[in-house]
Structure formats: C-alpha cells, structure tokens
Structure 1
Amino acid sequence: MVQVLMQMGLLILFGAVWRTLRPGGLDAGTTRHVLTTLVFNLLLPALVLTVLWDARLGLDSVKLSLYGAAIVFIGAGVAWLMGRAGRIQRHRLGAAMLGIAFANITYMGLPLLEHLYGPRARAIVVHLDVFAGMPLVLTFGLLIARQHGTPPRGEGSLLRPLLVNPPIWAGIAALALNLSGIRQPAGLQHFLEPLADAVAPLMLIAVGLSLQWQAWRRANLPLGLAVMVAKMIVMPLLGLGLAWLLGFRGETLTALVLEAGMPCMLFGVVYCDRYRLDSGFYAMTVLLTALSATLTLPFWHRWVGSLPA
C-alpha cells in the first residue's frame, strides 16, 4: 500500500512541480484544464464503455450505486451537523459540505484501487462515480453551492449539466449494449483499452496541478482540521458500517471503505469560485485531506482487510 501511494505521489508531485516550473510557458490552470477536459470528454467515456459493456450486472451493481449515493448524503449530513454545532458562516459551511460529501472517487480512487486490486476495481469506481457520485455532484452538489453561496445571473437549468455529460451517456450506452446481449468487438476493445489506461496517470497529474499551497491560512485551520477528521476518519467508519449492512465483504468491502475515505473532490473549487463560497478554505481542505491520506488510507486498507469475511 505504501509503495502504491509513493508511486501515485510521484505523479502528483510532478503536477505540483509543474505549477512552479511552467514548462513551455504553460501555467498550471491551463494545463489542468486541458488534461481534465481530455479525460472527461474522451478517456473517461472510453473507460466507462470498456468496463460496463461486458460487466456482470446484477444486485451488486444496484447496491454499489446505492452505497455511492448514500455516502454523499451522509457526508452532507455530517457537515450540516458540524455547522449547527459551530455556527459556521454560510459561505464556509457550503464549502465544508461539498468537501465532506464528495470524495475524490475517480481522480485518486481509481489509480489506487487499480494498483491494489487490478482491472476489476474499475467496475467499483464506475458504479460509484457514473451512477451515483457524478450525477449527484451535478445536482445535489449544485444545490448546496446555490443554497450557501450567490448564484450568478442568468444561470441555466439544473438538468443541463446532466444532458451534456459524456461519461454518463457512455454509461447509458454501455448498459443498453450490455443488456441487449451485444458483445464488444475485439477491434473496438483494442482501441478503447489504451484510452482507458491513460485515465489514472493523467488524473493524478491533474491532482498535483490543483494543489494550492497559498490557500494555507491560520484562520482556516480549526475548521479545516475538523473537515479533515470528518472526511478521513468519520466517513470511512460510516462507510464501513453501510457497506457491511449491504453485504459486502473481502476486497470489495475494503475498496468501498477506501473510497469513502478519499480526499475532497477537486471539482468543488469550481463551485466555490462560481457561487462565491470560501474558495481558499476549500482549497485548504483539499490539501489537508490529500496529505493526511498518506496516513489514513494505509490504516483503513490494513485494518478493514483484516476483518473476517
């Protein structure tokens, strides 16, 4: 596990160093935007098609999607309780809710689980993200940002982000092909596989490009540490209980707990900027949870992996 995190850390470090060196004159924001746009519009849909087209669909598929959705709502509830207890300012509470509710399921979760469990881990990530996390980010996450921030003028419908979402459409197409019994042509599979394999390393570099060291502020530290504890300790514990109740055991149980304990999602920064939430605070929570993950994820992997099947 430590070796896997070190390998991932090198790619994240490469992205972080890019912010300072700016090879070819390309700044971190532009480079990250290019990478994430490529991943979102081409590589991730290829991964979704590859995984779901020939996947075995059944009750576990439904339970994985339910788990992914439940973790989001539980996380939002934990943040809401923190807000009630601490009387947190609205724009900062919205950032905290986004940070605790939405984990970095794909950008960090996919590379880690793929290193630990091989290609079969892709199905877990796709179910959690495409059929739970991503639709909720674009609906429930947007509602959180609107409720706690200031919506820009002339904003469109909530449904539009779902209608122009290549990974979700790829998931729908893959499910239709799967259920119709059409087998994936070997030639197409050979074309999609290299695209799918490129998702993990590019996403890790994007994580490094997104780290904002200047976001470290002493005033943000107390609540930032509280969010870190909630995200990296409380959420995996709650995720463990939920996954156990749903009947998951063994490597799948461990993988689900690890996903519940992933750092804050990067996309939250976009919502914070757009809706005038506390962007500096959110960036700090991303950094704190990413750093603490080097300690917490190995612990959860070792401890949950030792539980009886």
Structure 2
Amino acid sequence: MFNVLLGMAVIIVVGIGWKSVLGQKSAETIRSHLAQSVYHIFLPALVLHVLWQFPVGLNTVRIPVVAVLSVSLALLAAFLLYGNGKLVRAFLPGKSNKAVGALLLASAFGNFSYLGLPVLSQTFGAWAQVVAIHFDLLASTPLLFTVGIILARYYGTSGEGMHPLVSLFRVPAIWAAIAGLILSAMAVSMPVWLDETLATLGAAVVPLMLLSVGMALRWQSGWMARIPVLLPVIMIQLLLMPLIAWAASIGVGMPADYLAPVVIEGAMPTMVLGLVICDRFKLDVALYAEAVTLTTALSLISLPLWLQAVS
C-alpha cells in the first residue's frame, strides 16, 4: 500500500502545486469545474459500470449496514464531544455554532469516494471499487443529505428551502447506483459499446478526484491554537470509525476477502464535499478545510497501519 499511497500523494501534491501557480481564486474555479465534471459525468459512469457488473446479494446489504453504523456512531461520538459547544469555546473564544456544525460534519463523513475509490482499487484491485460505492452511495451519502443537511441547517443558516430528500435525489451517482443495481438484479447484459464507453469515462475518476483533493487542501496561520479542537476529529475519523467498521463487519458476517477493504474504507479522512455544504449553510469553512487537510495528511500514515492490522 505504501507505493500506492505514494503515487496518489504525488498527484495530490501536483494539485497543491497547481493551486499555488494559479492562485487561490483561479484554482478554486478550476477545482470547482473538475469536481462538477466528476460529480455529474465521470463518477456516475463509474458507478453504473461497476454496479451493473456486480451481482446483487448479501454483500449489497452488509456493506451499507456497516457504513450506516460507522457514520452514525462516529456522528454520535462527535456530538457528545462538540454538541454543547464547550470544547470549541474553551480553545477558540468567539467561535459560534458554525464551528460546531463544521466539526460534526468533519468527524462523521469520510472521503469515501474521492479517496476511497483510488485507495481500494489500487490496493485490492478494481473489484474493490464496489466496496467504496456501496459504503458511500448506499449509506454515507443518504445520511449526509438527510441527517447531515439537518445538522448543517441547525448550526448554520437555513440555506435554500429544499427538502433534504430532494437534495439527495439530485445526486447523479445515486441514480446511477439505482440503475446499476436494478440492471444487475435483472441480469441485463451490458452492450459492448456501452461497456467500453463507461470504462473510459470511469477511468478519469481517480486522477481527477486526487487532483481535486490536492487543490481543495487549505491551511491558515494560527493553526496550533486549533489543534486541540481538531484532535477529536482526527481520532474519530482515523481511529474510531475503522474500529467500528471492523467490529460491525464481523457482526454482519462480512466475507474474509471484503473485511480489509471495508475497514480501510472506514478509515478514510474527512470528505472534501463537506466544503460545499459548509459554504452553502455558512458554517466555519476554514476550520473544516483544516480538518480535511490534517486528516488527509495523517491518513497517509494511518491507512498502511490499518491494512497491516486487518490483513
């Protein structure tokens, strides 16, 4: 896994360097367009391609159950630590509920697609992409666009008046996942031309995601004062959540060859998409961005350790 993470780290660093060359404003515009292309075109193509070929069975249920337990219990732990705001006020005087909301999202929702897909596919093989897709799109994303949005509205501003479920079903990859599961369950054969088209589009997901992650990483001066507030996020994302995923996998009878990919998926750092949600609901975007940066950097150390532990 070290060589895999090293290769991905190089692409992330290229994204960081590209942002430095372009400048913050231009880089954010380009990153947004890259993310939108992945979100609307390349990721749905990959999801449809993978799930259409994957037989629907018990693992289609096991993996989302593990993901729901992992995200929900991580969110509960974060709420117990951050919910009353005392920890934030103790170390960051003047910070409001907007910081609490950002920290709750940062603690519970991992980068299950943007980093999970490349890590699992490069470490275990292309077949493991299905673990990331099931973990994220059949569990984490529905929780994000329901419970996560409700929390963001409560701690931030109301944002647009759209119902969370409406927001959920505006996610293109969700429809691709539903279509893929239905076509797989009905044993519909994939036309050769469509197979090749989806494979070509899906191949763009990993490098574009990694570039986008690199361009999204941010760090600001005065970070030492914020480390005590961010430490629980690190512990929950990189330690507690994979432990929950491991225990839940054993509890649901996860097959041995799926155990390591599921645990590694649970060990992903804070999701990049949360930056968009924090911005939309006026949460503390800078604090959230630091959580993404810190957990992503530390995951390059923690992920190989988790792989060694679970193998």
- Answer yes or no: same fold by TM over 0.5: yes
Q: Which amino acid aligns with 1:125?
A: A
CA RMSD in angstroms comes to 1.8
Residues 32-181 of structure 1: pairs in structure 2 closer than 5 A: 32-83=31-82, 87-89=86-88, 90-152=97-159, 154-181=160-187
- Once the two structures are overlaid, the 10-residue window that deviates more, 123-132 or 202-211, is 123-132
Aligned identity (percent) is 35
Q: Structure 1 residues 162, 226: CA separation in 2 closer, same or farther (over 3 Å shift)?
A: closer
Q: Which amino acid aligns with 1:233?
A: L
Q: Determine the C-alpha separation between the residues in 2 that align with 1:130 and 1:249.
A: 21
Q: Structure 1 residues 179, 35: CA separation in 2 closer, same or farther (over 3 Å shift)?
A: same
Q: Which amino acid aligns with 1:52?
A: L
1:163-189 alpha-carbon deviations (Å, 9 max, x no partner): 322111111112222222211011110
The match for 2:17 is 17
Q: Determine the C-alpha separation between the residues in 1 that align with 2:202 and 2:193.
A: 15
**2:252 maps to which of 237, 243, 246:** 246
**1:276 maps to which of 251, 257, 282:** 282
Shift of 1:156: 2.1
Paired residue secondary structure (1:173): helix
1:107-126 alpha-carbon deviations (Å, 9 max, x no partner): 11110110111110111111
Is 1:195 the equivalent of 2:195?
Answer: no
The match for 2:226 is 220
Shift of 1:249: 4.5
Q: Which amino acid aligns with 2:42?
A: L
**Where do 4+ consecutive residues of structure 1 move more than 6 Å?**
none
Structure 2: 5+ residue stretches without partners: 89-96
Q: Determine the C-alpha separation between the residues in 2 that align with 1:158 and 1:210.
A: 25
Shift of 1:132: 1.1
1:118-153 alpha-carbon deviations (Å, 9 max, x no partner): 11011111111121122222111101111211223x
Paired residue secondary structure (1:189): helix
**2:212 maps to which of 203, 206, 215:** 206
The match for 2:300 is 294
Shift of 1:7: 0.1
- Report if aligned partners of 2:47, 2:180 keep a CA contact under 8 Å in 1: yes
Between Structure 1 and Structure 2, how many residues are aligned?
A: 303
TM-score of the two chains, using structure 2 as the length reference: 0.92
Q: Determine the C-alpha separation between the residues in 2 that align with 1:185 and 1:219.
A: 57
Q: Determine the C-alpha separation between the residues in 1 that align with 2:178 and 2:13.
A: 35
The match for 1:8 is 8
TM-score of the two chains, using structure 1 as the length reference: 0.93
Q: Determine the C-alpha separation between the residues in 2 that align with 1:122 and 1:226.
A: 29
The match for 1:303 is 309
Structure 1: 5+ residue stretches without partners: none
The match for 2:94 is none
